[in-house]
Amino acid sequence: MYTNKVKRIVAVHDLCGVGRLSLNVVIPILTTMGFDVCPLPTALLSNHTEYKEFTSLDLTDEMEKIIFQWKRRKEEFDAIYTGYLASPRQVHIVSGLLEDFRRPNSLIVVDPVLGDNGQLYTVYNQKMVEEMRKLITKADVITPNMTELSFLLGEKLPEIFTDEDIKNYLHRLSDDGPQIVIVTSVPVLDDNHKTSVYAYNKKGDRYWKITCPYLPAHYPGTGDTFTSVVIGALLQGDNLPMALDRAVQFILQGIRATFGYEYDPREGILLEKVLRNLDMPIQTASYERI
């Protein structure tokens, strides 16, 4: 029977008072792209963990109750998207959520939030890395940055690497389970004004690369923004390289809309200024097959 209901996405992320990241960006982006976002909050923070001081209320116990209630109500979801998890125990709980709510055509996306700029976030330790390694085996799509890629592989990456090296890393992670592995914030070695995203799709055995200008500023939350747009685009029916192109271009628009201001970059990109661009069709695509 024909049904045209709106697709539902569970968003397993924290809620931060200050900072455009996690649920503060996931909900507006995926709502704008036409989906019903169902938050499963992992923690409630005053501000994100890249600030020196912050408060954090761990919502692990509440998560168990919410999941129990959803099971009782026989809720169904088209996608599950997980990001910042507050503890190794939460990773276990989320792993159960993925098993219980996966359906034949659902999309499971794990953003293995662990760290950035070569370091684990201060709230995490090696135990969290080990749990995250297990969680990614249950995903269809994973979106580590370079730092997270290194921790998931369990090795320090060389300073100089080729496309072949990156392809090899992506392939190794996909061997563990996920059909699609996307790595963000890959430096372009001979040009520090550029940065790349690489992706591997096991189905079809193809690798993709998108390179875009790099502006010298670090905005927390760009990973959450990037992955949200990729998910929205895939659920709208875009192919993988087009979904990546949309996400890369959106991030670039967001950074450009922000960079010119005198502004504390820790608050993240000015999402409000670019959110409506998500309604527009993409004008140019710059992906390459490698």
20 is a contact residue toward ligand PXL (CB under 6 A):
no
Pick from 131, 148, 224, 245 the residue near ligand PXL by CB under 6 A.
224
Q: Which amino acid is at 102?
A: R
215/223 Cα distance (integer angstroms)? 15
CA–CA distances in Å: residue 12 to residues 201, 210, 226, 248, 264: 24, 27, 16, 22, 27
In whole angstroms, how close is the CB of 14 to ligand PXL at the nearest point? 5
Pick from 14, 131, 140, 245 the residue near ligand PXL by CB under 6 A.
14
Nearer to ligand PXL, 147 or 201 (CB): 147
> Residues 41, 85: contact at Cβ < 8 Å?
no
x/- mask, ligand PXL, residues 177-216, rule CB under 6 A, reads ----------------------------------------
145 is a contact residue toward ligand PXL (CB under 6 A):
no
Nearer to ligand PXL, 11 or 241 (CB): 11
Strands 288-289 and 115-116: unpaired
221 is a contact residue toward ligand PXL (CB under 6 A):
yes
x/- mask, ligand PXL, residues 105-134, rule CB under 6 A, reads --------x-------x-------------
Q: Where are the beta strands (DSSP E) in the chain?
A: 8-12, 15-18, 36-39, 43-47, 56-58, 79-82, 107-110, 115-116, 119-120, 141-142, 180-187, 194-201, 206-213, 288-289
Nearer to ligand PXL, 16 or 79 (CB): 16
> Residues 24, 94: contact at Cβ < 8 Å?
no
Q: Which of 109, 110, 14 is nearest to 55 (CA)?
A: 14
18/110 Cα distance (integer angstroms)? 24
x/- mask, ligand PXL, residues 48-87, rule CB under 6 A, reads xxx--------------------------------xx---
> Residues 109, 240: contact at Cβ < 8 Å?
no
* Candidate segments 95-103, 154-162, 184-192, 221-229, binder of ligand PXL by CB under 6 A: 221-229
Enumerate binding residues for ligand PXL (CB under 6 A): 14, 16, 21-22, 45, 48-50, 83-84, 113, 121, 220-221, 223-224
